[in-house]
Structure 1
């Protein structure tokens, strides 16, 4: 890939440090592995030292006014609500509106999506942000197609990612698109992260909800459901793992998790199958067995009832939706 200018990561007072450091670590390693990878610049509205949320600071940032295109990527980080409001109503949105046409890509991490939207860059495009702010983004910018559960989105030259660490996932996806899967895999191994969480994966999974709600008495059952969806997950067996009677287990599970055990198992198996469809090349029949359905026909029936689509069609849709558009 020929260079098209530097990557510009934009910070501002109150910026979230991980929104900056995560993608920067990916891009820095790409530069070390690939001589044609773009350089990286840290910029801010005024330049100089910028104090981030949590007491950290970014020193020697370039003033936005000093930058001239073309740019490979302009990436707007997220931050505190006060910091984002100041950035949106300050010169950042105006600068971004002018600079975006000279950038090969424009993107955001977390609340940085509001800056993109303010600059008019998300109109009619798919986008996401931190799960706690997706409803607000949709309400404020109704012409944006907000995907509230996505880890990241790539819609043509505009990309957005959800909260904090999802900036790493987006950066890995962009590196993979530009330099190949092997380079992205090497970087992921160096950073000890998952290669790569797919853009269509849920921000706030059923497993995370369960971990947040469930007490230690249910830990064995929750771990078995999430780790071994193909095992026998009947109530009697799950209850025995928690040293409870089936009746007590069902009552406690429903109260703490918010759904009966059978419904939770069904959702966990569906999530597991969706994840395998998107992240592997396994045949549908193999995914069905690995996810606890017993047969491809049984999984097909569940997918059509729950999602209105066959597993193979969903795989095609999800892979097409997360693939970066060609330049």
Structure 2
């Protein structure tokens, strides 16, 4: 089992899978865990801790049952690192299966290893994975996805879920169950990533076609999601789409789309510096004025006030945190 480490890697993305596989050894498994860095040197993780490597990429000669590609907060920079992407391709060629954790899926996609495949990533980043790599079939609600020899998982702790599934595949359910009990984690986590997003407001959807429409909205809120467009994609009538939303989602298509877009806009305002026109365009509101109206109607604040309030806790401020309206 090989884990790739690089500067800025997320610590739990590395240690979570390692803990699963080494704990499995206590119950009869025979994993040999190796941390590999490009040059064999230690790296500094996103947490600021030092992480040692066992060997360099050039020293990897034996095939590995599992290659783990962790993620990092600076994934937008990492996917432009041609040397790192080449390292991933070389390691993948020597591995029986390759698994990513969280934003590690962006690295696999940038390396061309997810073309035409289904994949998962953290729900906050699923829209960006789908838009940057349109050949990847993103599953925004999945905890982890397997497509051939490639496995991808959602945010950080989902790497533990994925690793447990591999232990079960290699050594059976009893060993995986023992590891889960020892680590006090779910053998199989209930629910998908929907429990962390606006999908949590939607009861279980039985109609597969409707689930596809909901996933399309979550994956790319900025796309055309009028009821007419949804009906065309599904190959059914507008009346049928409207009826399914009422029966299984409990709201209209337009209200559901607005809820998803609102959540996407909140995420961008909390985590990014894009100006409001860009946020409005990316999330499907079209204009800052439409974005403003939706925020005031649902949240009682303007987008500018929301950003000023939720980008900081206000700790250390000498006076009240100022808000702006825009």
- Whether 1:185 aligns to 2:127 is no
Q: Secondary structure at the match of 2:152?
A: strand
1:205 to 182, 189, 195: 195
* d(CA) in 1 for partners of 2:199, 2:140: 19
Aligned to 1:258: none
- What TM-score do the two structures reach when normalised by structure 2? 0.60
**Shift in alpha-carbon separation, 1:105–1:88, aligned structure 2, 3 A:** farther
1:94 and 1:119 in contact (8 A); partners too: yes
- Whether 1:40 aligns to 2:33 is yes
* d(CA) in 1 for partners of 2:130, 2:150: 17
* d(CA) in 2 for partners of 1:61, 1:88: 26
Shift of 1:87: 6.3
2:79 and 2:106 in contact (8 A); partners too: no
Aligned to 1:147: 139
- What TM-score do the two structures reach when normalised by structure 1? 0.59
1:101 to 93, 103, 109: 93
- Describe the superposition over 1:257-312 as per-residue Cα deviations: whole angstroms up to 9, x where unpaired: xxxxxxx5xx44x389xxxxxxxxxxxxxxxxxxxxxxxxxxxxx99x639xxxxx
1:50 and 1:61 in contact (8 A); partners too: no
Aligned to 2:51: 58
- Whether 1:194 aligns to 2:200 is no
1:71 and 1:104 in contact (8 A); partners too: yes
* d(CA) in 1 for partners of 2:193, 2:130: 17
**Shift in alpha-carbon separation, 1:146–1:209, aligned structure 2, 3 A:** closer
1:21 to 9, 15, 39: 15
* d(CA) in 1 for partners of 2:18, 2:120: 20
Aligned to 1:8: 2
Aligned to 1:74: 67
RMSD: 2.9
The higher-RCO structure (CA 8 Å, 6+ apart) is: 1
Aligned to 2:248: 306
2:108 to 88, 107, 116: 116
Moved over 6 A (4+): none
2:67 and 2:97 in contact (8 A); partners too: yes
Shift of 1:142: 0.8
1:175 and 1:183 in contact (8 A); partners too: yes
